Amino acid sequence: MARAPRPRCSGARRPDPSVQAHLALSHGTVAWHTLPVTVRDQVVARWIELLRAHVDVSASREDGS
């Protein structure tokens, strides 16, 4: 039995990046490049805050030992 032909590209516009990011998050996978630049900036800023807090806690534990 022959397979049905694949549908051709309709030439439609690519989805909005925020829609792609939402779909990536809702499916349990996050592709960094699909996230809007503002979201990426916020993620990096939060990551830096967490790293600094971790370094501060580690330094205070070493000083108290």
Look at the chain and report how many structural domains it folds into: 1
Domain presence at residue 15: no
Domain presence at residue 57: yes
For residue 58, give its domain range. Answer: 36-65
**Each residue's pLDDT expressed in tens, for the chain with a length of 65 residues:** 567 776 666 666 666 666 666 666 666 667 778 788 998 899 899 999 999 998 887 777 777 65
Domain presence at residue 44: yes
Domain presence at residue 10: no
For residues 15 and 24, what is the distance between their CA atoms, to the nearest angstrom? Answer: 12
Domain presence at residue 4: no
The whole-angstrom distance between residue 33's C-alpha and the CA centroid of its chain comes to 7
Domain presence at residue 60: yes
Q: Which residues are CB-contacts of 55 (< 8 A; sequence separation ≥ 6)? A: none
Domain presence at residue 63: yes
Domain presence at residue 27: no
The answer to whether residues 47 and 53 touch, using CB atoms and an 8 Å cutoff, is no
